[in-house]
Amino acid sequence: MTPRVVVAGSANMDLVGLAERLPRPGETVLGDDFVMIPGGKGANQAIAAARAGGKTAFLGAIGSDAFGVTLNARLDASGVDMSRVRTSYGSSGVAVIMVDRAGENSILVSPGANRSFTGLTDDETATIAAADVLLCQQEIPLETVFAALRAGRAGGTRTILNAAPARDLPAGLLDEVDLLVVNETEAHEITGGAVGGDVMAALLALVPRVVLTLSGAGSRYADRDGADAHVPAFRVEVADTTAAGDAFTGALAVAWGEGRDILDAIRWANAAGAACVRKVGASSALPTRDEIESIYHAA
Give CA–CA dist 104/244, Å, rounded: 18
| 14 classed as catalytic | no
Interface with ligand ADP (CB under 6 A), residue from 215, 223, 260, 284 = 215
**Sequence-ordered list of residues with C-beta below 8 angstroms from that of 85, at least 6 positions apart, any chain:** 58, 59, 60, 61, 62, 72
Of 142, 163, 159, nearest to 245 (Cα)? 163
Residue 63 in contact with ligand ADP, rule: CB under 6 A: no
Interface with ligand ADP (CB under 6 A), residue from 16, 233, 253, 285 = 233
Give CA–CA dist 94/113, Å, rounded: 9
Interface with ligand ADP (CB under 6 A), residue from 274, 286, 292, 295 = 274
Type of residue numbered 13: M
CB of residue 230 vs ligand ADP: minimum separation in angstroms?
11
Residue 234 in contact with ligand ADP, rule: CB under 6 A: yes
Q: What is 105-164 written as a DSSP string?
A: EEEEEE-GGGGG--S--HHHHHHHHHSSEEEE-SSS-HHHHHHHHHHHHHHT-EEEEE--
Residue 250 in contact with ligand ADP, rule: CB under 6 A: no
CB atoms within 10 A of CB 196: 7
- In the bound state with ligand ADP, the residue whose beta carbon lies nearer, of 12 and 270, is 270
Interface with ligand ADP (CB under 6 A), residue from 245, 250, 257, 287 = 245
Of 243, 299, 290, 285, nearest to 40 (Cα)? 243
Residue 10 in contact with ligand ADP, rule: CB under 6 A: no
Interface with ligand ADP (CB under 6 A), residue from 66, 227, 229, 238 = 238
146-185 residues near ligand ADP, rule: CB under 6 A? 183
26-55 residues near ligand ADP, rule: CB under 6 A? none
Phi-psi region of 243 (alpha: psi -120 to 50; beta: other; left: phi over 0): left
CB of residue 224 vs ligand ADP: minimum separation in angstroms?
21
44: part of which helix (H) or strand (E)? Answer: helix 41-51
CB under 6 A: which stretch of 21-29, 107-115, 195-203, 270-278 binds ligand ADP?
270-278
Interface with ligand ADP (CB under 6 A), residue from 49, 85, 174, 244 = 244
Catalytic residue among 246, 261, 264, 290: 246
**Sequence-ordered list of residues with C-beta below 8 angstroms from that of 73, at least 6 positions apart, any chain:** none
Residue 241 in contact with ligand ADP, rule: CB under 6 A: yes
CB 286 within 8 A of CB 247: yes
Query: CA-CA distances (angstroms) from residue 236 to 184, 240, 255, 275?
Result: 21, 11, 21, 8
Interface with ligand ADP (CB under 6 A), residue from 15, 214, 281, 293 = 214
CB under 6 A: which stretch of 73-81, 126-134, 215-223, 257-265 binds ligand ADP?
215-223
Sign of CA dihedral 148, 170, 156, 226: positive
CB of residue 220 vs ligand ADP: minimum separation in angstroms?
9
Residue 191 in contact with ligand ADP, rule: CB under 6 A: no
Number of residues in the chain: 299
CB 68 within 8 A of CB 87: yes
Active-site residue set: 246
Interface positions with ligand ADP (CB under 6 A): 183, 213-216, 218-219, 233-234, 236, 238, 241, 244-245, 248, 270, 273-274, 277
